[in-house]
Structure 1
């Protein structure tokens, strides 16, 4: 049975889709942030691979086809931004200031963490692109000499946490302005967080979509500079 699963080109795709759908159904039923579909899918896939004794390479042979959809899916996030273009034009200074401050805060926090925990340079640069989309973060990590696979894991964890607690953090700090909420979530937790922002409202989703692209570009530029600090 294991040999059949490992040799099947559709195994990785099927497992990923079924696990995510299971997570979606749990989220709809319990309406709790902990039942994040992506988090459930990741956990369920790991458990299944361990129980069946299937190595990651065999799983990825099929799952990699889903990865091809990552970049076009990210590009499609420009649609809600386009629909809110007039609102963006009126508030572009505040939006850009918010994204810039979010990017710098993320990088400075990683630098502080490197100092506190005495991280190696490789580990430090691996964490720098944690708040941008995987499509961009992988390239940044590789260019700076980091561990790309760990970067991917950290980016996913960051996004899942943003998806789960982003709205709660906004409530905690009484951030009610839709533009501010969208910029904060998109800058801090990229596409996965943006999925939650879209559920919060059209404006939040549009501003979060914009933040992904701008934060990605700013991180590419600033990460190269910050890589010399540790």
Structure 2
């Protein structure tokens, strides 16, 4: 048994099966809080504990899944290509919204971490919480954060954004498809984009665009903003 659970194939299998179960549960219940990613994470953790699988053994197969994150992100360009005319029409408000959203997210994290006395290493780790995982990990390393904490923060941000985003839009009576897509993609990366795609093709395309631009903006401004705040605080 030990030989079986320590193989890379076992880690890949339990990851895919757990996610498929999450998708089925989410489809059946239609509850946003029962996100497939959240369910699969819980199932994988329980299986690892029950079968006494170490993180090192799991990563033998998990690393191959992680390797697919970058090409999977690139695929999100497909719905954007279909709506390229819409992008040209609303270029200025779209880029302005993504830029201000990214900057606001970084400033909010730094400010709240300082107010609540959270350690600097945690602060630096959760600054890239709203961008896609491959980019977020590199930004975290660049800032001196802890990549594992960054991944957890990114997952939590995506799930929370996908859950409360539609509720916020309803409360504030936001109905514009472009605005909804930009907000979900900028604030909650790929998980938010999956929700945006459910809402409509335009929302999905704008959200896909926002992931890439928000990631690029965060890479450029995160070190600068962090340095400025560190000198002032």
Question: Fold-level match, TM-score > 0.5?
Answer: yes
- What does the per-residue CA deviation read over 1:28-82, in whole Å, with 9 as the maximum and x for residues that have no partner? 1111112110000001111111111111111111121111111011011111111
| Correspondence for 2:177 | 178
Give, in whole Å, the separation in 1 of the partners of 2:157 and 2:16: 21
- The match for 1:137 is 136
1:182-220 Cα shifts (integer Å, max 9, x gaps): 000000000111011011100000000000011001111
For the residues of structure 2 that align with 1:80 and 1:37, how far apart are their CA atoms?
Answer: 22
Please list, as runs of the form range in 1=range in 2, the aligned pairs for 1:35-114 lying within 5 A after superposition.
35-114=34-113
CA contact (8 A) 1:11 1:63 kept: no
Q: Distance in 2 between matches of 1:156 and 1:2?
A: 30
Partners of 2:20 and 2:169 in 1: CA distance: 28
Deviates further, 80-89 or 161-170: 161-170
Give the TM-score normalised by structure 1: 0.96
Query: Deviation of residue 223 (structure 1)?
Result: 0.5
Partner SS, residue 98 of structure 1: helix
Deviates more, 1:99-108 or 1:118-127: 118-127
**Could you say what secondary structure the match of 1:227 adopts?**
helix
**Which residue does 2:2 correspond to in 1?**
2
Q: 3-state DSSP class of the match of 1:118?
A: coil
Judge conservation of contact 1:126–1:141 (CA < 8 Å) in 2.
yes
Q: Is the 8 A contact 2:130 2:187 kept in 1?
A: yes
| Aligned residues of 1:125 and 1:146 also touching (Cα < 8 A) | yes
Deviation sequence 1:109-144 (CA, Å, 0-9, x none): 101112211223222111111100011111111011
Distance in 2 (alpha carbons) for counterparts of 1:124 and 1:137: 14
Q: Number of matched residues?
A: 229
Q: Does the Cα contact within 8 Å between 2:197 and 2:204 map onto a contact in 1?
A: yes
Q: Quote the offset at 1:163 in angstroms.
A: 2.0
Deviations 1:132-184 (A, max 9, x none): 00111111110111111111111111111122222222112211000000000
C-alpha displacement at 1:2, in angstroms? 3.4
C-alpha contact 2:98 2:214 (8 A) present in aligned 1: yes
Q: With structure 2 as the length reference, what TM-score do the two structures score?
A: 0.95
CA contact (8 A) 2:158 2:190 kept: yes
| Aligned twin of 1:195 | 194
SS of equivalent to 2:80? helix
